[in-house]
Structure 1
């Protein structure tokens, strides 16, 4: 992490500065698109985003990429220990682990409630045992901890021009919309991991089950029933984006270009799925590189202009 970012954020203690630098390295290495998006935020905002990303990334990797030979029971025990240690350290306000040190400092500075982290651990535990979701309500429970709370964690970093509680439902909806978009894009990849993140009852209404999805994944084709089911899921996800959109003007002006760009590009993935006639099995739906670069360039200019007119205060 650059000294400019740390200085702008008011982070002066040497050990803490090193902890945030480690988080920035994780973000730069594993979350390249996300890392580039942080460049649209002010220097003072970036360290906290890096800390939150690095913490979530470590837990994701723990669950999705366990060490060879790790049993489900052993993985569950490890996750339980990590959560227990984190909650103890969060209460104490300190940790010996660099990534947890940074996120604990971020949580304290920005007054991020502990339940936002607890819910994330809950969803990570669900990924150890749950491979399908029978209803939308069941999926919503998972998505709250895996995505909505991420929006709520980042909201204090972005800042608001309204009371935070007023913007919170919109931030949660945006996190949810992004996650649901990932689920649609990654149906085949998730099947390879033995998981289906689409509500079984909604799929069944179109005559679709796991076996039919697996056939599509094997053949890289999409049949009419699956096409209808995926079209229905796209429409439902678009409604979540519509719920989230009014939250963007509620953000600090300097944060709006970054979030609007993410909103536009992620929503563009749904456009690509529709353009492929909902065949998410033939290849990963992605917004063309030239469109991403154009959107990012425009957002960066707008972000720089907004930061000059509306400086971000240090937490």
Structure 2
């Protein structure tokens, strides 16, 4: 093993620690991927999580003002660009992401919209119309779905029409994930971060009708995404199915909750149900790891 190979392997292990600490749902689903593919997805998650943390609180908690957080975020984006261009970064998370990006075909077409969306979160958010919302969701979530598809399909040749269909499904799934999180974080986003993402839905006094409209749309996106899973490489399907089903379960639980309770209550999927969903996804793919007991359960963390 060369020095660079050792450094890259160490960087990838650092990325795996990030997903283990921050997300039970994605962490559990990613265990259904083969090791190399799982490692690639972990590098994407780790970079996205670090950027998210810059704008979501830890930066401010450390004493940085908004302008300083913006400089840190800008610096991270610049370092990502340099690392993708050169193949090296002194930042382990950035290095691991860049190595994956160079190999699977992730570029500024995905990273620039993502960082633009993160930058938007540094100022108060009150989206007035669907155009603003969709632009934000594209950068914050849909391009992340595209990054994941690049990880899944590297080395696989898809016809152009099928590739477009898979990309549409990835974008739909990323959007659905993001909007589910908007609903479950209504109170925290509005009261703690000054963000109102969903036009026509008052985060302090949501109505069942307004929440229902949002759920109708995101459940339509989940259906689109589910329909494209069979077009993915076989080894990627169980994990994507599990992630889809985890968020579909969360959406159902939100729909079953009176809207007035959402600002003060963060809905989650119980650990036992998460394990059952993972087991069904594994069983449906004919994998040996088909029982819930085969999935090691980390400590509960929010779905992100």
Q: TM > 0.5 between the two?
A: yes
Partner SS state of residue 305, structure 1? coil
Q: Unaligned 5+ residue runs, structure 1? A: 1-6, 204-208, 217-221, 308-315
1:239 aligns with 2:220: yes
- Which residue pairs with 1:313 in the alignment? none
The residue aligned with 1:169 is 168
CA deviation string 1:28-47 (max 9, x = no partner): 12223221211111112111
* Residue 257 of structure 2 corresponds to residue 276 of structure 1: yes
Kindly indicate whether the alpha-carbon contact (under 8 Å) linking 2:25 and 2:274 is maintained by their aligned counterparts in 1.
no
Alignment match, 2:32: 40
- Any unmatched runs of 5+ in structure 2? 290-304
Work out the number of aligned pairs and report it.
279
Cα distance in 2 between the residues matched to 1:36 and 1:12? 29
Point out the more displaced range, 281-290 or 139-148: 281-290
- Moved segments of 4+, more than 4 Å: none
Change (3 A) 1:161 1:299: farther
Of 282, 287, 297 in structure 2, the residue corresponding to residue 300 of structure 1 is 282
The yes-or-no answer on 1:263 pairing with 2:259 is no
Query: Would the aligned equivalents of 1:41 and 1:303 in 2 still touch at CA under 8 Å?
Result: no
Please report the RMSD computed on the Cα atoms of aligned residues, expressed in angstroms: 2.2
- CA-CA distance at 1:245 after TM superposition: 2.2
- Which one of the candidate residues 250, 266, 289 is aligned to 2:271? 289
Bigger radius of gyration among the two: 1
Q: Separation in 1 of the partners of 2:208 and 2:278?
A: 32
Distance 1:150 1:194 in 2: 24
Stretch deviating more after TM superposition (25-34 or 124-133):
25-34
CA shift in 2, pair 1:68/1:288, >3 Å: closer
Q: Does the 8 Å contact 1:147/1:175 carry over to 2? A: yes
Q: TM-score, normalised by structure 1?
A: 0.82
| C-alpha distance in 2 between matches for 1:42 and 1:189 | 36
* Post-superposition CA distance 1:123-143 (Å, at most 9, x none): 010001141101111011111
Distance 1:306 1:109, change over 3 A: farther
Q: Distance in 1 between matches of 2:165 and 2:251?
A: 28
* 1:27-75 alpha-carbon deviations (Å, 9 max, x no partner): 2122232212111111121111111111111111111121432111121
After superposition, give the CA deviation of every residue in 1:197-227 in whole Å (9 maximum; x if it has no partner): 101xx34xxxxx4xxx33x4xxxxx6xxx22
What is the alpha-carbon distance in structure 2 between the residues aligned to residue 44 and residue 274 of structure 1?
Answer: 37
**Normalised by the size of structure 2, how large is the TM-score?**
0.85
